[in-house]
Structure 1
Amino acid sequence: MTKVGEGQEAEQVAPPVVTFGAPTVGEILADRYELAEHINDDSAGRQVWRGVDVVLRRPVAVVLRYPGGDSAMEMLTAAVAASRVIHPNLVGVYDAIDEGARAYVVREWVDGDALRELVTDGPLDAARATSIAHSIAGAVAAVHATGMVHGNIHPGTVMVGHDGRVVLADARADGGETRDTDVRAIGGVLYFALTGHWPHTELATSTLPDAVRDASGAIAAPRQVRAGIPAYLDDLTMDLLDPQVAPPSSDVLAAELGRLDAAAEEQYLEDAGPLRFASTDEPSEVPRASNRKIAAGVAGLVVIALAGLLFGISALGDGGDKPTSPGDQPNVSAAGGEGTAAPAGKPKRITVAAGQVRVVDPDGQRDELDGVAEVVDGDANTGWRTDAYVTNPKFGGLKRGMGILIDLKEARSVTSVQVVLSAPGASAELLTGPTDPGSSKSGDDQLYKTFKPTRIGEPFENHTGTTMAFSGFSPDLTYRYLLVWITEMPEGDPGKYQIGVQEIRVEGL
């Protein structure tokens, strides 16, 4: 049974023979980690052991490499970097130790199997393949949010626990990979789950079955290999693997896979619709054809994803604002009572009715309030628009901004808010506060001043897409009032600045 350590395939050479200093069952490393069972030797020749942390009395995985020192630096550096990112779909890294003659990494024990072992019995159905890819994309988005790259996404590093949890293990730090190659590797994992074939053989020697290829080396689409795969999922997979198509960012991919994953959970996979990102200047005009492809060579990536990232990204790297503590957020409370964490589970859409949204305009003539109900009507082709402003993109220099207030009617555990705009190039942030003083000029001014200090996640500045996905919510807090606050608009007609909010989607537990 594959547990951990099954990383990127290496050439099939015999692993080094360890004699002096070889580990034995019962040996305790670093006065803390007792070796219990030798599981296997991974493709890089490292020994993988099941162990026990004798201090905390928890199972661990111990990956040993001979020798240590400079030759083990890449493994240890990657482990230290990975330990700074905490996410439910990333294997936790506990320790990294170099003894000179040997080095080892201690990490979470995953009681389950690698994806490549699961697929030996046959490819996965579309719903399960989508769910696994969604989990991995969320994990990769968490890694990318810290400025790091995973660099080793492969059916051997995708682990599926017996409890159903999907995790990604074995990050690398050799500098040879990029964010784009991480995203394309997720496409490879999706292709493998759907077909049982690995499409990236040209990148490294592999024991996995190669994809079916034509005379030119082009791989066959999943629907050509196996019947029953939805066309839009086929399109998504092939677009991610196509070097002529610019890949989306990992957070955008996670949002799209989350939309498809939620549809599958609700038994609506066949009606989930086409891909929600494409290279086009006018997303509202794109026909909803299930075989739509992402056009190559067109600048910009327009996002119309209506689902969010997985909850719980906690990046402990450098840079960025730290989450606001509960004491600093006047509108939040501990979910389930003091000291109780928010309930676990998959995020679901929170229904927001027309009467639960309104325009916030503290500095204007309040003649731009109509039409806001269309931002929650489920149709991205309709929405609310500002007036056209001249002079500069910041509302002509006349306003601090404008926004849309969302009242969830009760405190809820929220995981993400997606805001679909009419055009790229806008700047906005998501704020929260304790109450709504009422729709009036003075009420809106009071609301803005109260909400402004409590921002959720990072603001979007001159955003290149049309969807803003805010996911910086604390899983331990609840929220009732959310304010989508727009500070800058793109230029439409020459010298005129305007933006429309087409749709707002809130997800939570």
Structure 2
Amino acid sequence: MDSSGNALPTEPIGGRYRVEREVGRGGMGSVWLAHDERLGRAVAIKRVGRMPGESLPHLARAMREARSSAALNHPNVVSVYDAVEEGEHLWLVMEYVPGRTLAELVADEGPLSPERVARIGAQVADGLAAAHALGTVHRDVKPGNVLVGEGDTAKISDFGIARSAGDDKLTQTGLMTGTPAYFAPELARGSDATPASDVWGLGATLFAAVEGHSPYPSQSNPLALMALIAHEPPPAPQTAGPLRRPISRMMDTDPAARPTMADCAAALHRTSSGPTTTAARPAADPGPATVVQEPVVASAPPVEEPPRRRGGLLVAGVVALVLLVAGIAYLLLQGDDDDAGTASDEPASSSPSGRDGGQQESPEPPPESSPEEAPEETAEQSPEEEPEPPATSGATAFAQDYYGLLPGDTDAAWQRLAPSFQDEVGRDSFDGFWAGIDSVAVDGAQEVEPGVVDVTLTYTTDGSSQTEVRRLFVEESGGGLAITGDEVV
């Protein structure tokens, strides 16, 4: 007997799949462990059409799951091997993944570390991105549908309510499909599922994994929960560390503002690999921690020096310009008629129609005065142009100075990070990374927008070099500048 009191099938299903025991229960039916006697392997079988209220549309939806999942050949998607119809039942034969669901993992171990959740989430995002590329939307991304096996290998399962582009809708008015707790706001408001709603579901799943609970508090009435999701923005995660920004972007209330699933996968892979030069950028709001720990950043060395240097260049340029103009004016006022004619009528100086009527030797003065004027105009322009390139801005100079400290002086470099960012990176992780780098060279730096600096870096270790462009986010903190996050671009 299974947990619901139903007798286990005594004969092999489809003449080859011998059921051993129930191993789970999902929204589309029970999941059984079975032995494939033909191929000699363990498989998972989902039975559909036995639960109360299930009818033909449920069987059709299950067949659609088989078609959608069978088309996905991806290591992070649970494979569907076969579909067997026997009597009133439909059996979906799937890959058996020993382990626990992410929901069970969190229930057993409590909130998971951001790095571990990022590793799991990156794999799930890879699988969902493959589904989206084939036009299939999962529609029910949640912790219970993420299977975590040995070594934290993760797979997304249960495409039971998945729908491919072009499929007829089987959901009738009043029939809710999916798990309301992980619904995107647009779904709660009655819109159709899209890849963007899967992105929200994955973001909410990651939120639950690092926080230990779903984003919205549970409600006894599912409709009340959907109304809450539809009209209230999600809370910001509190213990997500480097996952704060990815989760916040995935759970943007505007579907159009969310990243694609492929972009999510790339961001999660970067986060799961741990800090490189620092770590992934946190949410824009640094939170109370920045205020509490301001003295740490205030002790950072020359955070205001770059702006002062730039001001000095501007003043010097203005003074030089004023002196230059005064000198020219003096020469014009003190010179003889020939000099005045050269200064004011240079284009006509070689013509007989000049002011001196040709009595003076006008061809000679222009060669004398022209070489003086050309350099003076060049000198006049250069002080204004020098400070303009982004490399002289405070944020850019601050970023260059930061890498100039590394890898030798990690203590001073560490003080350049905002306290909230220090909490996310961790001093041991920071020191550990730079201990493995022999040298780092700044090949270029540019402030692409205020406080956002793209730095081209070349790392060298054991004679081998690697180049990347890293985007630093620099903000005012504690009366100076501090790095609040970074990412690879």
- TM-score of the aligned structures, taking structure 1 as reference length: 0.46
Higher helix share: 2
Higher strand share: 1
- TM-score of the aligned structures, taking structure 2 as reference length: 0.48
